[in-house]
């Protein structure tokens, strides 16, 4: 999205520091002089947006009265009052701090705005109130300006986000509307009507009437157009306060950058981590990804084609297996978690049926041969593993060859394991590799064996560890055997074969992880790396180039490496055009309200909005702005009313406090002391523990 530049002067170039500046003056464009809110409005007006006129008591005025000046006697106050037309009409005095409405923090609702000022005496009190609100906002040491504008009496007012504030979707616009001005909405006093609109057409995707008005389609289209224009002017999606007059007027009252993470537009298949969570229970680094994800991706694609579960077009349209910030997920349709919808035309078309018949013949032959093929692969894999010499005896080139060979074996093991699960009857076998490994580990610990001895004697315990490039795995500190029923009428050897294939996958991963670590130790010994662990953050191609002397490591680039793996992936999600995950609604999810963001958290319910216990979930009737200072204490907020676009909801999202609004009857459903899980994405609130409700 292109940015329209309107000649905003750099604060360092502003040499004049008048006490009063008109919004139409070029000096008003400098945030250091007029604060974030006023400077943004001046910028919009200069670009042709319909912003309300006004004047600003600048930060220079603030500095003057902070030095002991009398606000009532300062000539700038009278000048601002008269230039704003205060002797003829009611006014509004709004805060415009230099730390307000920035790209990283909105400070929404933390400073005062005074509405409906009539007379000079009331104006003086309003200016003092705005200046004093710095203390409450925790910004007493920051300069502030006072934006003075005429009071309007619009037909409708509200807030609009240029991106979905919870999901970060750029193809959505979220609008909340009330009758009159937007002040009662942003303060949390009322819910207002809520629209989710398609950005390209202003089509209404969701609508909640609540206590607000129903806007016409013409007004909705005008609001979407305004959203696009402000995004162009300010260089990105904006959080906009707006008002619609009794005629055709549409005013921009305020614009600030959206502090929501911009995720883009979702597209393509639905992915999820569930089916691969056992294979990759922990996030992967760059080298771990290169060693273990491509073999799984290739195996899944090959297996679903062989089994007739997907077409070549289906596979080509999907990334099959993705890795987002180290977390691995799989196409849920290809994994069989989501069943494809059959259209009527496909039922009437005989050609797919003929193809299916041919595929069934091929699959039938594969099904009958699969157990024997899997047994042969297990034998070959065991032989290959036994034939590997001590890693210290191999040259660096041999270690590289071992890494590539391991990827080939992993591809075969994954493909066979998937096909066994898809095409054969595993018979409901309850004995898994993990349960066997847990029993073996518990018994070995009882016998007094060390972890090193346990790993050498019983590599089965590797099923309890996540794959990692490391010198050795870390076994669980505690182990208690889980007793399972190992015999049942429906059990078959196919289930055991599948678990055996899974276990070999883990063994081969362990071998390649240790081989990579050995290369890391050699690079550290030659000074190419400061420590062996840094090899985990190199790609396989880079490792190969350095190990074979075709490239060198630039020490400054790999001297340290901090990895931010981010939050776990949603159960269902799509990738956006920006490569970011956007949650998709699972058919099994329900919600008690509307998710307002902030992630997911759990804690005991409290009704104390004055002094809530640290780590609690505040259940309240509405999102009052005064709750802002309490956010650092809270794990979550559940409100019976309120808007996802209210000031407190914005602050809660920024603070990472899981927030749900519009949960009618929450104070009755969620008694004090009850431990609840609050999902700020889906709006779901789940009781985890009845707690102490006495």
How many residues are listed for the chain in this entry? 694
Decide which of 257, 282, 309 is a domain's last residue: 257
**Does 175 fall in a domain?**
yes
Q: What is the CATH number of the domain that holds 36?
A: 3.30.1490.20
pLDDT at 682: 81
Token duo for residue 390 = 């001590």
Q: Which residues contact 27 (CB under 8 A, 6 or more apart)?
A: 9, 14, 16, 18, 21, 33, 34
**CB 378, CB 508: distance < 8 Å:** no
**Does 611 fall in a domain?**
yes
Query: Among the ranges 157-161, 188-192, 620-624, 630-634, which has the highest mean pLDDT value?
Result: 157-161
Average pLDDT over residues 279-307: 93
pLDDT at 288: 97
Q: pLDDT tens digits, residue range 227-241? A: 999 999 999 999 899
**Does 451 fall in a domain?**
no
pTM of the predicted model as reported, rounded to 2 decimal places? 0.71
Token duo for residue 436 = 């066997």
Average pLDDT over residues 8-28: 73
What's the CA dihedral at 619, 620, 621, 627 to 10 degrees? -140
Domain shared by 124 and 66, yes or no: yes
Domain shared by 335 and 364, yes or no: yes
Confidence of residue 558 (pLDDT cuts 50, 70, 90): low
Question: For 608, phi and psi rounded to 5 degrees?
Answer: -80, 100
**Does 576 fall in a domain?**
no
**CB 213, CB 156: distance < 8 Å:** yes
Number of domains present in the structure of the chain: 4
pLDDT at 12: 38
pLDDT at 258: 84
Domain shared by 208 and 121, yes or no: no
Confidence of residue 102 (pLDDT cuts 50, 70, 90): low
Domain shared by 419 and 537, yes or no: yes
Domain shared by 142 and 163, yes or no: no
Q: Where are the beta strands (DSSP E) in 108-258?
A: 113-117, 144-150, 156-161, 172-179, 193-198, 204-208, 238-244, 250-257
Sheet containing strand 266-272, edge to edge, reads: 321-324, 327-331, 266-272, 573-576, 581-583
Q: What is the CATH number of the domain that holds 226?
A: 3.30.470.20
Domain shared by 398 and 502, yes or no: yes
pLDDT above 70 covers a percentage of the chain that reads: 83
Average pLDDT over residues 468-485: 72
Q: What angle in degrees, to the nearest 10, is found between the helix axes of 31-46 and 217-234?
A: 130
pLDDT at 262: 85
**Does 351 fall in a domain?**
yes
Q: 193-197, 208-212, 422-426, 658-662 — which is least confidently predicted?
A: 422-426
What's the CA dihedral at 140, 144, 150, 156 to 10 degrees? -70
Average pLDDT over residues 50-76: 87
Average pLDDT over residues 87-114: 74
Domain shared by 322 and 248, yes or no: no
665 SS3 class: coil
DSSP helix, strand, coil percent of the chain (3-state; round to 5) = 40, 20, 40
Q: Which residues contact 272 (CB under 8 A, 6 or more apart)?
A: 329, 330, 332, 335, 337, 569, 570, 571, 572, 573
Q: Is the pLDDT of residue 42 over 90?
A: yes
Average pLDDT over residues 672-692: 83
For residue 161, the enclosing domain spans 156-257
Query: What is the rounded CA–CA span in Å between residue 401 and residue 391?
Result: 12
Average pLDDT over residues 426-448: 72
Average pLDDT over residues 459-469: 88
pLDDT at 269: 94
**Does 462 fall in a domain?**
no
**Does 381 fall in a domain?**
yes
pLDDT at 670: 87
Domain shared by 288 and 335, yes or no: yes
Task: Return the ∠ at Cα 333 (arms to 332 and 339), rounded to 5°.
Answer: 120
Q: What is the CATH number of the domain that holds 623?
A: 3.50.30.10
How many helices, marked H, and strands, marked E, lie in the chain?
Answer: 18, 23
Confidence of residue 270 (pLDDT cuts 50, 70, 90): very high
Average pLDDT over residues 664-670: 79
Token duo for residue 205 = 């995707």
**Does 4 fall in a domain?**
no
pLDDT at 560: 65
Decide which of 88, 116, 150 is a domain's last residue: 150
Domain shared by 186 and 215, yes or no: yes
Decide which of 541, 558, 575 is a domain's last residue: 558
Domain shared by 108 and 234, yes or no: no
Domain shared by 280 and 251, yes or no: no
Domain shared by 113 and 172, yes or no: no
User: What is the β-pairing status of strands 250-257 and 204-208?
Assistant: unpaired
């Amino acid at each position: 999205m292109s940015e329209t530049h309107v000649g905003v002067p750099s604060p360092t170039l502003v040499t004049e520091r008048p006490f009063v500046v008109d919004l139409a003056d070029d000096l008003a464009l400098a945030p250091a002089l007029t604060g974030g809110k006023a400077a943004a409005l001046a910028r919009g007006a200069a670009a042709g947006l319909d912003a309300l006129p006004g004047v600003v008591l600048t930060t220079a005025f603030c500095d003057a009265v902070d030095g002991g000046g009398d606000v009532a006697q300062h000539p700038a106050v009278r000048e601002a009052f008269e230039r704003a037309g205060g002797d003829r009409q009611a006014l509004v005095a709004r805060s415009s701090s230099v730390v307000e409405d920035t790209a990283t923090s909105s400070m929404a609702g933390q400073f005062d705005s005074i509405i409906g000022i009539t007379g000079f005496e009331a104006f003086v009190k309003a200016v003092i109130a705005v200046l004093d609100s710095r203390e409450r906002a925790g910004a007493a040491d920051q300069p502030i300006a006072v934006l003075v504008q005429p009071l309007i009496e619009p037909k409708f007012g509200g807030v609009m986000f240029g991106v979905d504030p919870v999901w970060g979707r750029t193809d959505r616009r979220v609008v909340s509307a009330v009758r009159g001005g937007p002040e009662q909405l942003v303060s949390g006093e009322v819910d207002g009507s809520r629209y989710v609109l398609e950005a390209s057409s202003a089509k209404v995707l969701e609508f909640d009437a609540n206590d607000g008005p129903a806007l016409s389609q013409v007004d909705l289209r005008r609001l979407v157009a305004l959203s696009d224009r402000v995004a162009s002017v300010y260089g990105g999606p904006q959080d906009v306060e707006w008002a619609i007059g009794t005629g055709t007027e549409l005013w921009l009252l305020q614009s600030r950058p959206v502090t929501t993470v911009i995720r883009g537009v979702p597209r393509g298949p639905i992915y999820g981590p569930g089916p691969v969570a056992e294979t990759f229970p922990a996030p992967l680094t760059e080298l771990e990804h290169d060693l273990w994800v491509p073999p799984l991706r290739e195996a899944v694609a090959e297996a679903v084609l062989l089994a007739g579960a997907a077409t070549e077009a289906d596979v080509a349209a999907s990334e099959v297996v993705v890795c987002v910030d180290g977390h691995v997920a799989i196409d849920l349709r290809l994994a069989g978690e989501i069943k494809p919808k059959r259209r009527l035309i496909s039922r009437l078309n005989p050609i797919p049926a003929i193809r299916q018949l041919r595929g069934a013949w091929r699959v039938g032959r594969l099904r009958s041969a699969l157990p024997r093929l899997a047994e042969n692969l297990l034998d070959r894999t065991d032989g290959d593993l036994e034939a590997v010499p001590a890693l210290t005896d191999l040259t660096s080139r041999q270690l590289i060859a071992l890494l590539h060979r391991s990827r080939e074996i992993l591809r075969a093991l994954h493909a066979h394991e998937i096909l066994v699960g898809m095409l054969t009857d595993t018979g409901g076998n309850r004995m898994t590799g993990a349960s066997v490994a847990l029993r073996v580990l518990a018994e070995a610990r009882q016998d007094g064996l060390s972890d090193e001895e346990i790993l050498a004697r019983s590599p089965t315990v590797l099923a309890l560890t996540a794959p990692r490039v490391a010198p050795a795995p870390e076994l669980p500190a505690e182990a208690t055997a889980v007793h399972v029923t190992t015999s049942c009428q429906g059990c078959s050897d196919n289930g055991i074969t599948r678990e055996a294939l899974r276990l070999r996958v883990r063994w081969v991963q362990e071998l390649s992880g240790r081989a990579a670590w050995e290369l890391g130790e050699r690079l550290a010994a030659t000074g190419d790396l400061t420590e062996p662990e840094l090899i985990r953050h190199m790609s396989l191609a880079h490792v190969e180039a350095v190990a074979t002397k075709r490239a060198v490591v630039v020490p400054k680039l790999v001297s340290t490496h901090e990895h931010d793996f981010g939050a776990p992936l949603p159960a269902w999600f799509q990738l956006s055009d920006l490569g970011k995950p956007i949650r998709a609604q699972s058919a099994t999810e329900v919600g008690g309200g509307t998710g307002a963001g902030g992630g997911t958290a759990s804690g005991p319910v409290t009704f104390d909005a004055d002094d809530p216990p640290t780590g609690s979930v505040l259940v309240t009737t509405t999102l009052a702005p005064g709750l802002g200072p309490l956010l650092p204490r809270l794990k979550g907020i559940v409100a019976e009313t309120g808007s996802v676009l209210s000031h407190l909801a914005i602050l809660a999202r920024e603070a990472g406090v899981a927030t749900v609004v519009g949960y009618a009857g929450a104070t009755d459903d969620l008694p004090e002391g009850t431990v609840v899980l609050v999902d700020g994405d889906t709006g779901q609130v789940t009781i985890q523990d009845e707690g102490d409700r006495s």
